[in-house]
Structure 1
Amino acid sequence: MGGGGGSMESGEPEFQIAPMIDCLLVLLIFFMSITTAEVLQLDKDIQLPAAPEAKKKEKSKMAEGALNVKWNPKTQKGEINFEGKPYDDVSSLVEVLKVKKANAPDYRIIIRGDRRLPAVEIQRTMSVLGEAGMDDLAFSALNQ
């Protein structure tokens, strides 16, 4: 009877750590898999404008995508990023958005515009969305 740590013969129950680790890993994988694509599309460099009357986003099952528009002070231009991909050429973005709209007629675009952006850049973004036929738009803002 060589001793291991706390066998049943000595009267003390043995604590099994392996099943506990298995459960924790399953939970970790579960929570990683349910992370929405919207969270992955957030750009930490964008400073959202403050809007005291902003309403919290309602949960919906409709398809949506985040369009990040941020100001680059070095080039003095706005940069458009959609689904993690930067678009210097807006005509290619228009084509991507047309496909999204064709696949899901109720597709919504959430515009995450940097508060440092000049109004001209927001107008340019709106023109691109209009050219793509997007009609369900929302602006992201902080309600502070």
Structure 2
Amino acid sequence: GGGTEQGEPEFQVAPMIDVLLVILVFFMTITSTQVLKVDQSIQLPIAKDAQKKDNTRAEAIVNVRWKLPAKKAQFVFDDRVYPNANEMVGPIKTARITGEKKITAGANPNFRAVIRGDRDVPAIYVSQAMNACAEAGISDISFSAVNKE
């Protein structure tokens, strides 16, 4: 007859490690895409009462850079630089529509825009970024700030 083993079954560790590594790579990839949207060259304004944002919502991150030698604002959305805020309306609207489709029922249904303006940017350029988000159909707009230097 056939050779059937008697005794206790063994716990296989190798498949468990494979699954854990796949999950680790998945979460590292997801996290790195969010980090890439944050422009590290921007010095955020300081607000002592700034609070941590709710990261469970779908959002569009708009960076407003201030280029000092030229004294000119640059608008960055989805790793693309726009010299004019009005040029971002189409891409932001597309991001809002796809973001709203991904939100499941029961989750927070509002798509949000987060404006990360450099502390040296004149307010008129932050206002232009707000207008671009509003034209894209986003009514919930937040601003990034830090609570200490």
Per the TM alignment, residue 58 of structure 1 is displaced from its structure 2 partner at its CA by: 2.3
Deviation at 1:31, TM superposition (A): 4.9
Which residue number corresponds to residue 142 of structure 2? 138
The percentage of aligned residue pairs carrying the same residue is 39
How many residue pairs end up in the alignment? 123
The match for 2:79 is 84
User: Corresponding residue for 1:126?
Assistant: 130
CA displacement 1:62-100 (0-9 Å, x = unmatched): 211211001011221110001111112444311112222
Pick closer, same or farther for the CA change 1:25–1:82 going to 2, 3 Å: same
CA shift, 1:33, in A, is 2.3
Give the greater-gyration-radius structure (CA). Answer: 1
Q: Please, what TM-score do these two structures have when normalized by structure 1?
A: 0.72
Q: Which residues in structure 2 correspond to 1:69-80 (within 5 Å)?
A: 69-80=64-75
Aligned to 1:29: 25
**Contact 2:74 2:84 (8 Å CA) reproduced:** no
Do the aligned partners of residues 115 and 27 (structure 1) sit closer, same or farther apart at CA in structure 2, a change above 3 Å counting? same
- Tell me which amino acid in the other structure corresponds to 1:136: D
Q: 1:21-50 CA deviation, whole Å, 9 max, x = no partner? A: x87976863552241532111111100000
In structure 2, C-alpha distance between the alignment counterparts of 1:25 and 1:59, rounded to whole Å:
24
Partner of 2:10: none
1:65 to 60, 64, 67: 60
C-alpha root-mean-square deviation of aligned residues, in Å?
2.4
Identify if the C-alpha distance between structure 1 residues 59 and 126 changes in structure 2 by more than 3 Å, giving closer, same or farther. closer
Number of the residue aligned with 1:117: 121
Give the distance between the partners of 1:26 and 1:132, measured in 2 at CA: 37
CA distance in 2 between counterparts of 1:91 and 1:54 reads: 28
Quote the Cα distance in structure 1 between the aligned partners of 2:93 and 2:26: 33
Unaligned runs of 5+ in 2: 1-13, 101-108
Partner of 1:5: none
Distance in 2 separating the partners of 1:123 and 1:30: 37
> CA offset at residue 126 of structure 1?
1.5
